[in-house]
Amino acid sequence: IFLILYCLLNSSETGKPHTMLIETSAQSSDIKHLPKVVQQKKKIPKPKLYPNSALFTKWGDDLTEDEQKEAEALFRMYGYNAFLSNRTPLDRALPDTRDSRCRNVYYPEDLPTISVVLIYLDEALSVIQRAIRSIIARTPKHLLREIILVDDYSKNTPQWNLSNVTTKRPGLIRKVRHKRQMGLSQSRNSGWQVATADVVAILDAHIEVIEGWAEPLLARIKADRTVVVSPVFDKVHFDDLHVEKYLSFGHGFDWALWCLYESFSQDWINKGDESQPGKSPSIMGIFAADRRFLGEIGGLDGGMTIYGGENVELGIRVWLCGGSIEVVPCSRIAHIERMHKPYALDLSPLMKRNALRVADVWLDDFKKNVLIAWNLPLQNHGLDIGNVSERKQLREKLKCKPFKWYLENVYTNLETWDNLLGYGTLKNTIYSRYCVDQGAVPGNIPILYECHSQQPQLCYYNTESEIIIGGLRSHKVNSNQCLVDSGSGSTPTLQDCKVARQKELHMHWDFRQGEAIRNKATNRCLEIAWGLNGYYELIIQKCTGQAWKIDNVITTF
């Protein structure tokens, strides 16, 4: 009986001890041998000092007020839970998220050596220490040549003490510090330029590598030195630092050149083997490449400023200039997804400028699509993209293919936007302070709203006489929202363009710049009228001669 009671007290289905109160009897002479159990008091949650902070949404109930203040201050500094990181073992175990087939692959001993570059701006010391510890522990010693730390002029860099993570490998760490902030692209170049191994792996510093991460990358590069490879990123949550497995995807982008995940080809899917590498149109910020090949194709574009677009530029250039890109699912890295980045609160201006630089060098006639995506005029957009003459000379020297080849052979999912006539905000000449807006989401009622020129107000008119409202999707698999006249009532609607075509809804409009917008089927017009709520509202009615203008005209219509 005593043994049963002991087991009940110290085990459960979840592996946690039961909490229970045992009432003893003086008649039991052996009761003194039972383990002493104290009834736990119900914990009272501490008041949250920062109820609106994303850090404390799911974490931090047990922190004191002083601990909350410290955690929030560190969170604002780094964009992740540095407070918790500082209290987490540097050698913590990670789940092995690889496909089971990856664990049975044999890799030869004579793989290329690797230099690992960790780039950072304002990282917590414990995060960098954990990254280094994981790389040393989970990379075969004979393959790891060096770890290069590139500091892009951090403001919150503590006095580094890395002796506790490199005691067994003196001289393994090399440091580079910029004298001014130069951005992601140049930081990666700085690390690559001082690397000495056969292969350079360029990573963010807020990562932990998973067992067996290096060998699959090195094996692919050994087989083909012109292939640039990426591991699969598992997500480390910024608040509680737990690791979430991500599925294997390729890396792509939209016409604004924001990177995004992209499905592998149907051929890869048909194989039914998730351990196999998949071709990828582009690459995100973490990759490995033959060090010399990376130099032959021009490294990364040092003319990119601060943040954004450099990974897409590299991806396009690799494909056009004799290489290829693959994502290798057997290589996995746990990557902290920051709640906010240290570069700027709004990254759009940086990204816009860099995207235009990429377009000018590599996209040929399709560079207009980048201007359209950013709602900029096709001529005289007014942004300084820096000197691109060297990059254009590099393209000629390497005899790179035209971008049309890339669209036809590599990234076939991108829409070419060949049928556009005009784009931008759509305004009625009676009251130009307000713009056509997609309205509430989810919903399908367009509205008038004070002009702000963001995505909900981006409109497009095309050669099929369709008016698309609320942004234009970059990929063929996605759908847009088209303006439709139901034929009755006065309320316009938005319908999925593909569905509207199939159902033959009234979605075609006669429109000339500075004139009426008239539905071809109903002969009614899109207009504005004074509503019962005391504001102008968007309606469809018998045409009264109202006129509309769209910001940018591609071809006179």
Examine residue 236 and state whether it is found in any structural domain, yes or no: yes
Examine residue 39 and state whether it is found in any structural domain, yes or no: no
Contact by Cβ (8 Å): 262, 413 = yes
Clarify whether residues 503 and 428 are in a common domain: yes
Phi-psi region of 77 (alpha: psi -120 to 50; beta: other; left: phi over 0): alpha
pLDDT per residue as tens digits for the range 399-449: 999 999 999 999 999 999 999 999 999 999 988 899 999 999 989 999 999
Scan for tokens 């003194």, then name that residue: 32
pLDDT per residue as tens digits for the range 14-36: 333 333 232 333 333 333 343 44
CA angle 239, 241, 243 (to 5 degrees): 130
Label residues 272-299 b or e (16+ Cβ within 10 Å = b).
Answer: eebbbbbbbbbbbbbbbbbbebbeebbb
Contact by Cβ (8 Å): 398, 316 = no
Q: Where are the alpha helices (DSSP H) in 182-245?
A: 184-194, 214-223
Clarify whether residues 317 and 171 are in a common domain: yes
Clarify whether residues 199 and 322 are in a common domain: yes
Which residues lie closer than 8 Å to 69 by C-beta, 6 or more apart? 49
Clarify whether residues 29 and 121 are in a common domain: no
Examine residue 47 and state whether it is found in any structural domain, yes or no: no
Q: Of 294, 318, 336, which closes a domain?
A: 336
For residue 548, what are the β-bridge partners? Answer: 428, 515
How many other C-beta atoms lie within 10 A of the C-beta of residue 21?
Answer: 8
pLDDT at position 252 over 50: yes
Examine residue 472 and state whether it is found in any structural domain, yes or no: yes
Distance (Å) of CA 446 to CA 304, 396, 437: 38, 48, 6
pLDDT at position 162 over 60: yes
Contact by Cβ (8 Å): 340, 295 = no
Contact by Cβ (8 Å): 232, 332 = yes
The Cα 524–Cα 503 span in angstroms is 20
CATH number for the domain harbouring residue 502 = 2.80.10.50
pLDDT at position 344 over 80: no
Q: What is the pLDDT of residue 531?
A: 84
Dihedral Cα 487, 493, 495, 499, nearest 10 deg: -10
Examine residue 122 and state whether it is found in any structural domain, yes or no: yes
The Cα 156–Cα 124 span in angstroms is 8
Task: Classify burial at 32, counting beta carbons within 10 Å of its beta carbon; exposed 0-12, middle 13-18, buried 19 or more.
Answer: exposed
Q: How confident is the model at residue 2 (pLDDT cuts 50, 70, 90)?
A: very low
Contact by Cβ (8 Å): 525, 544 = yes
Examine residue 509 and state whether it is found in any structural domain, yes or no: yes
The Cα 141–Cα 368 span in angstroms is 49
Structurally, the chain folds into a number of domains equal to 3
Q: How confident is the model at residue 44 (pLDDT cuts 50, 70, 90)?
A: low
Clarify whether residues 107 and 28 are in a common domain: no
3-state secondary structure 103-137: HHCCCCCCCCCEEEEEEECCCCHHHHHHHHHHHHH
Q: What is the pLDDT of residue 31?
A: 32
- Structure tokens, 290: 């033959």
Clarify whether residues 437 and 536 are in a common domain: yes
Task: Classify burial at 139, counting beta carbons within 10 Å of its beta carbon; exposed 0-12, middle 13-18, buried 19 or more.
Answer: buried
Spatial CA neighbour of 275 closest among 264, 284, 285 = 264
Clarify whether residues 211 and 324 are in a common domain: yes
Clarify whether residues 160 and 18 are in a common domain: no
The Cα 120–Cα 153 span in angstroms is 9
DSSP character for 298?
T
pLDDT at position 372 over 80: yes
Clarify whether residues 143 and 23 are in a common domain: no
Clarify whether residues 234 and 139 are in a common domain: yes
Examine residue 451 and state whether it is found in any structural domain, yes or no: yes
CATH number for the domain harbouring residue 170 = 3.90.550.10
Clarify whether residues 155 and 274 are in a common domain: yes
The Cα 80–Cα 337 span in angstroms is 8
pLDDT at position 504 over 70: yes
Domain of 180? Answer: 100-336
Q: How confident is the model at residue 42 (pLDDT cuts 50, 70, 90)?
A: low
pLDDT at position 277 over 50: yes
pLDDT at position 4 over 80: no
- Structure tokens, 424: 């931008």
Q: What is the pLDDT of residue 38?
A: 45
Evaluate the omega torsion of the peptide bond into residue 349 and state whether it is cis, within 30 degrees of 0: no
The Cα 334–Cα 97 span in angstroms is 10
Q: How confident is the model at residue 163 (pLDDT cuts 50, 70, 90)?
A: low
Examine residue 255 and state whether it is found in any structural domain, yes or no: yes
Q: Of 271, 306, 336, which closes a domain?
A: 336
pLDDT per residue as tens digits for the range 202-246: 999 999 999 999 999 999 999 999 999 999 999 999 999 999 999
The Cα 90–Cα 410 span in angstroms is 41
Share of the chain above pLDDT 90, in %: 81
Task: Classify burial at 267, counting beta carbons within 10 Å of its beta carbon; exposed 0-12, middle 13-18, buried 19 or more.
Answer: exposed
CA angle 456, 472, 366 (to 5 degrees): 135
Largest CA distance in the chain: 102
3-state secondary structure 47-107: CCCCCCCHHHCCCCCCCCHHHHHHHHHHHHHHCCCHHHHCCCCCCCCCCCCCCHHHHHCCC
Contact by Cβ (8 Å): 343, 121 = yes
Mean predicted lDDT score pLDDT of the chain: 90
Clarify whether residues 104 and 7 are in a common domain: no
Q: Of 321, 336, 351, which closes a domain?
A: 336
Q: What is the pLDDT of residue 533?
A: 80
Q: How confident is the model at residue 534 (pLDDT cuts 50, 70, 90)?
A: confident
Contact by Cβ (8 Å): 280, 327 = yes
